[in-house]
């Protein structure tokens, strides 16, 4: 039973619109997880933490041109394609050259074309380096 309120969907029916170029985003399913890829600029939309589960699939998902991604990375304020809230630019201290946008409400993340491959390659490289290091006695 609910407390008198109907559950409300945050997004409008139909496909998502890219927060950078406003093109339609097409669903892409990999490993039983559906993400959205922009049909215009090639950016990727991940719902809460989906990108962590799909790092090994970066080459299959992130098929956009990194040069296009670099151009769209310069776009200022963008709004979440799910709930229309202003998104926050996030910078990882381990990858300061990589800027992704995150929604403070639904926690979705947008990667410009080429950024998800860069993110995943760095994470996998870090994991391999950690496992190669000798462990202290």
User: What pLDDT, in 10s, does the model give residues 93-129?
Assistant: 888 888 899 999 999 999 999 999 999 887 555 544 4
Q: Which residues are within 8 A (CB) of 48 and not within 5 positions of it... i.e. 6 or more apart?
A: 106, 107, 108
Does 9 have pLDDT greater than 70? no
CB-count burial class (<10 Å; 0-12, 13-18, 19+) for 54? buried
Q: Please tell me the predicted confidence (pLDDT) of residue 89.
A: 94
∠ CA 53-15-101 to the nearest 5 degrees?
50
Q: Where are the domains of the chain?
A: 25-129
User: What pLDDT, in 10s, does the model give residues 12-62?
Assistant: 567 899 999 999 999 999 989 999 999 999 999 999 989 989 989 999 999
Nearest to 50 by CA among 70, 72, 32: 32
CB count in 10 Å sphere of residue 79: 14
């Amino acid at each position: 039973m609910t407390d008198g309120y109907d559950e409300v969907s945050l997004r409008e029916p139909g496909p998502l619109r890219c927060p950078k170029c406003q093109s339609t985003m097409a669903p892409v399913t990999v490993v039983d997880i559906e993400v959205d890829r922009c049909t215009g600029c090639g950016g990727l939309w991940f719902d809460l933490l989906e990108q962590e589960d799909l790092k090994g699939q970066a080459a299959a998902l992130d098929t956009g041109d990194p040069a296009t991604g670099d151009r769209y990375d310069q776009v200022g304020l963008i709004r979440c394609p799910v709930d229309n809230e202003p998104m926050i630019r996030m910078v990882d201290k381990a990858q300061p050259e990589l800027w992704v946008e995150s929604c403070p409400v639904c926690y979705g993340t947008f990667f410009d074309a080429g950024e998800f491959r860069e993110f995943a390659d760095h994470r996998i490289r870090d994991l391999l380096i950690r496992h190669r290091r000798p462990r202290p006695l």
